[in-house]
């Protein structure tokens, strides 16, 4: 008799536990279904999009990633490079450059790229380049290496004139897409040299800076000759203003 009561009590307990577990599972399933319904609800999606899309469009129009990336690049160049923290500087500048490329790709995909975006990108690139070579010039000044300061200054000036000559050529109706030391090549060379210098390889940085200065002079001469050939009068006497 006692055994029967124990068996009946155990069976009742198991049935009650099963019922509670089934109810709990149904409750969880119902909550999940409710979440799915909310997520699939067009009104809910529209409300979320209404909150997210306006700031996203604003950031794209403002080129916020490019602006922040340029500010970060200038800060890194003027803080890390003069101190000789070359490895840290190269890593951070590479990451910031990648963010700038991402911003440009996002703008093209969103259809927001155009003359204004191109102008802004080119202008901010000049700031970044100037900060990088200016930081290296400060490094030479701070560490008693005037030849590095002189080479970095030459590389800075020739790099800026290289970009200016191309823009000015386009302004007068010509093209100047020639040269052996455009921006990408200059940045790759100086990044590689700074990285090696950070790992203790001597003489690489001044050699790279003097090389960039010389290549910049050659590129400027190439662009002057190219534009001169395009704008040379086909006949008659050339007028001078």
Positions annotated as catalytic residues are 125
- The answer to whether residues 216 and 181 touch, using CB atoms and an 8 Å cutoff, is yes
- DSSP category for residue 239: P
Strands of 111-167 (E only): list them. none
């Amino acid at each position: 008799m006692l055994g029967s009561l124990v068996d009946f009590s155990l069976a009742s307990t198991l049935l009650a536990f099963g019922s509670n577990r089934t109810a709990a599972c149904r409750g969880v399933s119902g909550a999940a279904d409710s979440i799915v319904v909310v997520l699939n609800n067009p009104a809910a999606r529209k409300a979320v999009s209404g909150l997210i899309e306006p700031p996203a469009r604003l950031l794209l129009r403002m080129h916020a990633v490019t602006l922040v990336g340029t500010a970060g690049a200038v800060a890194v160049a003027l803080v890390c490079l003069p101190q000789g923290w070359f490895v840290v500087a190269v890593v951070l500048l590479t990451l910031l450059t990648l963010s700038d490329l991402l911003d440009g790709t996002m703008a093209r995909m969103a259809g927001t790229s155009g003359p204004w975006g191109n102008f802004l990108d080119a202008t901010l690139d000049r700031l970044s380049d100037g900060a990088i070579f200016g930081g290296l010039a400060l490094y030479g000044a701070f560490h008693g290496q005037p030849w590095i300061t002189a080479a970095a200054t030459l590389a800075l000036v020739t790099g800026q004139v290289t970009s200016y000559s191309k823009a000015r050529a386009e302004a007068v109706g010509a093209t100047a897409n020639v040269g052996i030391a455009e921006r990408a090549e200059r940045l790759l060379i100086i990044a590689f040299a700074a990285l090696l210098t950070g790992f203790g390889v001597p003489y690489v940085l001044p050699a790279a800076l003097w090389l960039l200065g010389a290549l910049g002079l050659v590129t400027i001469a190439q662009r002057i000759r190219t534009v001169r050939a395009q704008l040379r009068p086909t006949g008659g006497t050339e007028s001078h203003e």
